[in-house]
Chains A and B, each alone.
Chain A
Amino acid sequence: MSDLAVRAAPARPNFNGLWVAPPLIALGLTFLYPLFLIARAALVGDAGEIDVGGFLSVLHSRAFLNALINTGLIALAATAGCLALGVTLALILAFVPFPGSTFVARLIDTFIALPTFLVTLAFTFLYGSAGMLNGALTQSFSLSEPPVHFLYSAWGVILAEVTVYTPFVLRPLLAAFSLVDQSQIEVAGLLGAKPWRIVRNVILPAALPAAIAGGSLCLLLTVNEFGIVLFIGAKGVITLPLLIYDKAIQESDYQAACAIAMVNIALSLGLFSLYRFAARRLGG
């Protein structure tokens, strides 16, 4: 590690590259080797034969297909929500700043460091069947049953994910907006352009790469989200990570868990490439 930046004399053999071996071995042993074993458990039967049939039968099961559809729909809806909320908040924070707006931006930023299930627990008190919203509604309209039930459905998961992952969109958008030339906006305003038109024609085109990078990161994180779905614990809302947990821990069916994990990992790596691609376009 210590010889790094020295350019070795041409005649001497160069062993600097070997310094990368220890962390590579750690990565291989703790990450790549387990991934390989997941693939083997999913595709190889007990007697050591290739068992694609077992793999495919898991992928054709109703539970898997439901979880796949749920995961996709929840991730898309949550990402759309994050983008809508993120763009709105970023526009206000960057172009209509109010006293304390930098503090608010930092406050939202700290959500990145907080555990995701915190929001779900809070939603139980806010929107749960015995929560504030239902309490207020039953009291003021003297209802006998709590009227609001969305928390225990896919909508509860989507709203929680929007809260947790909007900061991941907000951060690159604020960075992109800070590069927009303020005088351009003032000129457009002086020429009589309405705010909405300035946003559409001047600001948003400049922020498109940031929105795509933030959005694809959101898509990746929402596909992988586990805590929120586990804490909401709604019967009908099973996503791929939750199904893997159920199969492995509750049913001890490791082959099925590994088969589903392979699909989930493939999906995540696909979205990761999309994010890297978008982020590189943003940088370059």
Chain B
Amino acid sequence: MLVWSRSGRFIVWLLAALLIGIIFIAPLAVILAASLAQQWNGVFPTGFTLEHYASAAGGASGDAVFASLVTGLVASLLALLCGSWAALALRAQGEAWSRTLGLLFFIPSAVPSVSVGLGLLVAFSQRPLLLNGTTAIVILAHFVLISAFSFGNVSAGLARLSPDYEEVASSLGARPTYRLVKVTLPLIAPYLIAAFGLSFALSMGELGATVMVYPPGWVTLPVAIFGLTDRGDIFSGAALTMILVAATLALLIGLERLPLGAVGRRA
């Protein structure tokens, strides 16, 4: 305890409550309020309605929810596969190589998303790889942006994994594939799931690369929200944002609750 006096502590807590309330809680609260409001002309919103959510359930907004979920799922699974493959393969490299290549796999996370989108647009607008205007280029853009996070998470898990388990499995005669599936992967399962959750969350909120490459038939949630607010329909935008937040948080909480202990013990 740094502040000893009761009054001093009270002042510090008041400051914390003000900062956290204004900066972090107020934004979430007003979006929730706006998504349920009929009008907001004065200080507080007036009228309660579920109309914005009802309109989000069907039509263009429903399509956006679907597009975001599919994009997030496919891109995260691809990123998880590629990221874990890279992280596992780098263990067989020497120290110097594994450090250099590891850095290379991290770099996509440092490049601005708009530039990643621009690069894909330039690269895949010509034959033989004509992807411009397809759903695949959106998924590819998300994959590039999130693969570094999957790689980072899985690498962190492998770094904490004691080599003993794998060595014991080998000395007991486990073949490499069997050892990978039955020993290594279950042991790093929490990191795989964390990587997937973070990837999915980032993909759901991705905007910069998506606006560069999306075709008219595959509008993701952030792009749809921007379209709504740009046209002045901020209440529907707020409702769609709440759906995005709820979907992201539900996924992250759901993944956290998975019975990982059982997976680890069975191994």
From residue B203, how far is it (CB to closest CB) to chain A in Å? 10
* B262 beta carbon closer than 8 Å to chain A: no
Please report which residues of chain B, range 197-228, place their CB below 8 angstroms from some CB of chain A when the two chains form the complex. Answer: 198, 201-202, 204-208, 211-212, 222, 225-226
- Contact for A125 among B2, B24, B34, B244, CB less than 8 A: B34
Q: Is the CB of B229 within 8 A of A85?
A: no
Q: Is the CB of A269 within 8 A of B16?
A: no
B4 and chain A: residue at smallest CB distance: A189
Q: Is the CB of A227 within 8 A of B41?
A: no
A107 to B41, CA, bound (A): 30
* B13 beta carbon closer than 8 Å to chain A: yes
B242 and chain A: residue at smallest CB distance: A118
Q: Is the CB of B104 within 8 A of A111?
A: no
SS class of chain B's interface: helix, strand, loop or mixed? helix
Contacts of B4 in A (CB 8 A): 189
A34 in contact with B166 given A20-B90, A124-B234, A249-B211 (CB within 8 Å):
no
Categorize the interface residue count of chain B: 35 or more
- Contact for B19 among A89, A123, A130, CB less than 8 A: A89
Q: Is the CB of A135 within 8 A of B90?
A: no
A248 in contact with B119 given A19-B89, A20-B92, A114-B245 (CB within 8 Å):
no
Q: Is the CB of A85 within 8 A of B19?
A: yes
From residue A102, how far is it (CB to closest CB) to chain B in Å? 13
Please report which residues of chain B, range 14-47, place their CB below 8 angstroms from some CB of chain A when the two chains form the complex. Answer: 15-16, 19-20, 23-28, 30-31, 33-34, 40-44
* B120 beta carbon closer than 8 Å to chain A: yes
A1 in contact with B19 given A117-B207, A269-B107, A272-B107 (CB within 8 Å):
no
B206 and chain A: residue at smallest CB distance: A115
From residue B148, how far is it (CB to closest CB) to chain A in Å? 9
* A10 beta carbon closer than 8 Å to chain B: no
* B62 beta carbon closer than 8 Å to chain A: no
Contacts of B206 in A (CB 8 A): 115
| Interface 1/0 per residue, B62-76 and A, CB below 8 Å | 000000000000000
Q: Is the CB of A265 within 8 A of B19?
A: no
- Contact for A27 among B88, B120, B147, B212, CB less than 8 A: B147
- Contact for B207 among A91, A93, A115, CB less than 8 A: A115
Given contacts A96-B9, A124-B229, A264-B114, 17 further A-B contacts (CB under 8 A): A2-B176, A23-B85, A37-B123, A96-B2, A115-B205, A115-B241, A118-B31, A121-B238, A122-B28, A125-B31, A224-B110, A227-B207, A231-B226, A244-B112, A245-B208, A248-B121, A272-B110
| Pairs across A and B, CB under 8 Å, 30 listed | A2-B179, A5-B167, A5-B184, A20-B93, A22-B82, A22-B85, A23-B86, A23-B89, A27-B147, A33-B123, A37-B122, A37-B123, A89-B19, A96-B2, A113-B252, A115-B222, A117-B205, A117-B207, A121-B225, A121-B234, A126-B26, A198-B2, A220-B110, A233-B230, A241-B112, A244-B115, A254-B122, A261-B114, A261-B118, A268-B110
Task: Please list the residues of chain B having a beta carbon within 8 angstroms of any beta carbon in chain A.
Answer: 1-4, 8-9, 12-13, 15-16, 19-20, 23-28, 30-31, 33-34, 40-44, 82-83, 85-86, 88-93, 97, 101, 103-105, 107-108, 110-116, 118-124, 140, 143-144, 147, 163, 166-167, 170, 175-177, 179-180, 184, 198, 201-202, 204-208, 211-212, 222, 225-226, 229-230, 234, 237-238, 241, 244-245, 248-249, 252
